[in-house]
Amino acid sequence: MTVRDCLVWITGASSGIGEALAYELSRRGARLVLSSRREDALEAVRERCRRPGEHLVQPLDLARPDTLRAAADAVRDTVGPVDVLVNNGGISQRGTAAETEMEVVRRIMEVNFFGAVQLTKAVLPSMIERQQGHVVVVSSVVGKFGTPLRSSYAASKHALHGWFDSLRAEVYDDGIGVTLACPGFVKTNVASNALYP
Q: Any idea what the CATH number is for the domain that residue 89 is in?
A: 3.40.50.720
1 domain residue, yes or no: no
Angle at 70 between CA 190 and CA 85, to 5 degrees: 50
Q: Which residues form the catalytic set?
A: 153
Give the H/E segment covering residue 180.
strand 176-181
Output the pLDDT for position 194.
54
Which tens digits make up the pLDDT trace of 136-166?
A: 999 999 899 999 999 999 999 999 999 999 9
Question: Residue 195 domain-assigned?
Answer: no
At residue 65, the pLDDT reads 87
Task: Decide if 34 contacts 59 (C-beta within 8 A).
Answer: no
Q: Is the residue at 150 inside a domain?
A: yes
Backbone angles phi, psi at 178, to 5 degrees: -130, 125
CB atoms within 10 A of CB 107: 17
pLDDT of residue 187: 61
Per-residue pLDDT of the chain (197 residues; tens, 9 = 90+): 689 999 999 999 999 999 999 999 999 999 999 999 999 999 999 999 999 999 999 999 999 989 999 999 999 999 999 999 999 999 999 999 999 999 999 999 999 999 999 999 999 999 999 999 999 999 999 899 999 999 999 999 999 999 999 999 999 999 999 999 997 765 655 555 555 56
The single-letter code of the amino acid at 109 is M
- Of 115, 12, 128, which is closest to residue 68 (Cα–Cα)? 115
- Within a domain: residue 121? yes
Q: E strands of 51-157, at which residues?
A: 56-57, 84-87, 133-138
Distances (CA, A) of 134 to 92, 128, 182: 25, 10, 17
**How many domains, the chain?**
1
**134 alpha carbon, distance to own chain's centre:** 13
Specify if 2 maps to a domain. Answer: no
Query: Do 65 and 120 contact (CB within 8 A), yes or no?
Result: no
Q: Domain range spanning residue 176?
A: 7-187
Q: Is residue 80 part of a domain?
A: yes
Asked if the structure places residue 196 within a domain, the reply is: no
130 lies in a domain? yes
Burial class (CB in 10 A: 0-12, 13-18, 19+), 177: middle
